[in-house]
Amino acid sequence: GDSVTQMEGPVTLSEEAFLTINCTYTATGYPSLFWYVQYPGEGLQLLLKATKADDKGSNKGFEATYRKETTSFHLEKGSVQVSDSAVYFCALSVRSSNTGKLIFGQGTTLQVKP
């Protein structure tokens, strides 16, 4: 079945460090890929998305490129801030599905220290 695998956390970085959170997927159809973020005490919100191979999603300094050949959608940021501390979820939605339901990875906790 369709699934998403994320690197395990927690990830602890110093401010201004480079961030990579790995995400790989398995899908029978042609998925759209998403990164969602959950800040402490807040609900899930969409960070970025990519709908086809080689697309790059970007938002708030975060980027992720849809790599069909490696079935990956790694999240990167060049210089993290304390305010980026949150839980990050990689997710997919298979377009052949009529529902658009999201299949999530386990989540990766990021802690950024000043």
Partner 1 sequence: GAGVSQSPSNKVTEKGKDVELRCDPISGHTALYWYRQSLGQGLEFLIYFQGNSAPDKSGLPSDRFSAERTGGSVSTLTIQRTQQEDSAVYLCASSLGTGVYEQYFGPGTRLTVT
Q: How far apart are CA 82 and CA 87, in angstroms?
A: 13
Applying CB under 8 A, does 104 fall inside the site for partner 1? yes
Applying CB under 8 A, does 49 fall inside the site for partner 1? yes
Among 25, 62, 66, 89, binds partner 1 (CB under 8 A): 89
Applying CB under 8 A, does 40 fall inside the site for partner 1? no
Least distance from partner 1 to the Cβ atom of residue 4, Å: 9
* Interface residue list for partner 1 (CB under 8 A): 32, 36, 42-46, 49, 51, 89, 91, 93, 95, 98-107
